Structure 1
């Protein structure tokens, strides 16, 4: 693994449903992977990007083979990847890729869980969780990995991102519809996601990451806590003491020395994913440079996030920079413009239009 400086690169991961011409979900990701590799595998590395499986057999992950320092290269590469895969599945399977945070029409009886290699992981989850829920089988997130070069930077970045969670959700919400009807929340993906592991609450917590002051504390109080609770519930060893099991909106990925942001819905186009990434990196850069950046209480952030999941940018929030999520996001956008690099600034007007 190449070591990167703090915030030096973007590491995106995208999730797309495979659908037919009527938007019916097609559980054929195993067939697609076999078509490239000759046998069923978890992922296939192509020249510039990698495609892989997810829990749901109708959802494909697309990610770059290496992270990006340039937003423009990010957009070019991932647009090429999505276009190439769209053309491939259309020609071979009469299928298409569908973004968004949730499939808008899917019913749970149309889904299947990945039945091949690593199926023991999903079997382990199914022992303690009910996987037949939208929060497991009908969610698509845009995940962004941001590197940290040392423990101090990682902890600071983690805590700052905790404060940003409600407002990233407000800007990125792209799941208003499920099962063909307008849902009760603006961000239905997060609404379902918050409850998908309710049998062992400590795995997701409040979705908003708790503040930490060291990696040792994180491993003991977060990973250690949910691993203990899962073991008590009868979980198999293959999902115990794993950093990736943590289902909060931001988690440490120690194998890649990065923070993985999971609170955002997959967007309708790659350019929007890039814009979100530029916004996040620029805001973090501004927060780090401002020693007076105020961290709200964990309880306040959780309350704000729940309001945003329900009402989006219109939500009333408890925040020094605005009374609504939209007002706070406008303030954050100003911070982003002030601290964005030239390439990043080109993408921020897209965030401005969204707000």
Structure 2
């Protein structure tokens, strides 16, 4: 057997996008992901491969994940690859009077009434999650995100990458928030998915921690500070050991030592892969600059404490790009000397710092990034398109437009 050499930093990427399956007329959630996930013998399966892409199940039966089938060497072609998969899925859903719906939360789903767990091969794990955490809540049953995976070859690369990602996490809602409504109402948070996600593991607090991961920069340190305390705390609720694995970790970014990768989970899914991959390109370029010590050293990046980063994250979850950041030590990590700036201004600087690199590797991302920085994240554009207290029918009209953006692979422009 030939063993492939480990991938180094930024040599490849893994991207996963989650979408809701909904009724084509009402846009209510439909628990029918098994109609898409089945073998040639028409038996339900957890994953179906489509060349270098794949479809897989999630915790809930109304969500399907589309992902790269293994590491992909570049981000640039992925918007088209994902768009083609979405078209194929929507074509299959036509016979069920259903379609895919984007954004990070369904705006009027009632999880108490509408939760259906995936009932097939992976169901014992999902049942265990439900038994421990009670998944009848928005933080489990109603959230869709983009997972962005980066490889590392050894402990040194892991430490550099983990330090850089910890720094960027608090800024992500400012460009990626797409969930301003829940239970049919405006929540007051641009990123209601994260607002719901943060407390969803409160029965076993170490599972989510403070969302921002601890200062752990080697595999041994990560196991000691994060994984082992989590496994010990959940053990009384998990006698069969079904949940005591790396996937239990619900922080905003998690280490997957089983495949030498770090996975960012904090990014809301957008209105189309065009926007998702553009955001991924900007995030990647920024991480590369941090790892290359463009503004501060790796040792300085590693010193940023959880509490400071979490304070900024809480701000951006609520106010997105309009959040005012006053932590001068944090701003210094990005080469900003002003005493305070908005999150939008931080991203504008980071984009200008990386524009040349993104233009060379992924020029199609530039217009989408410029739209986000000019008009705000998708959540802001969605809010601007409706009245302060829209009716369900007004929300339904907006989300039909978003479903069209997804189907056609285009960005949503606010009014």
TM-score tier (shorter): over 0.9
Check conservation: 2:108, 2:182, Cα contact below 8 A: yes
Relative to 1, partners in 2 of residues 1:235 and 1:334: Cα closer, same or farther, differing over 3 Å? farther
Instruction: Give the equivalent residue in structure 2 for 1:210.
Output: 214
The residue number in structure 2 matching 1:89 is 93
Identify the range of structure 1 (156-165 vs 63-72) with the bigger mean alpha-carbon deviation: 63-72
1:305 counterpart = 2:313: yes
CA distance 1:213–1:65, change in 2 (3 Å)? closer
Among 318, 342, 345, the alignment partner of 1:327 is 345
1:209-288 superposed matches below 5 A: 209-234=213-238, 236-240=240-244, 242-288=245-291
Distance 1:76 1:291 in 2: 32
Deviation at 1:341, TM superposition (A): 6.3
Query: Is 1:176 aligned with 2:184?
Result: no
Distance of 2:360 and 2:181 partners within structure 1 = 36
* CA distance 1:151–1:340, shift in 2 (3 Å): farther
Equivalent pair of 1:141/1:265 in contact (CA under 8 Å): yes
Q: Which residue of 2 aligns with 1:13?
A: 16
Native 8 Å contact 2:82 2:273 kept in 1: yes
> Conserved in 2, the CA contact under 8 Å of 1:204 and 1:247?
yes
**Counterpart Cα distance in 1 of 2:366 and 2:166:** 21
Query: Structure 1 stretch 340-349 or stretch 94-103: which is displaced more?
Result: 340-349
Is the 1:125–1:235 Cα contact (8 Å) retained in structure 2? no
Corresponding position of 1:163: 167
TM-superposition CA deviations, 1:12-49 (whole Å, max 9, x none) = 00101001121110001123223765101111112342
1:64 aligns with 2:68: yes
Partner residue in 1 for 2:7: 4
Counterparts of 1:127 and 1:110 in 2: how far apart (Å)?
17
- Cα deviation, 1:254-303, whole Å, max 9, x if unaligned, reads 22211101000011100111111111111111112226425333211100
Moved more, 122-131 or 268-277: 122-131
Of 355, 366, 384 in structure 2, the residue corresponding to residue 348 of structure 1 is: 366
Q: Structure 1 residues 176, 69: CA separation in 2 closer, same or farther (over 3 Å shift)?
A: same
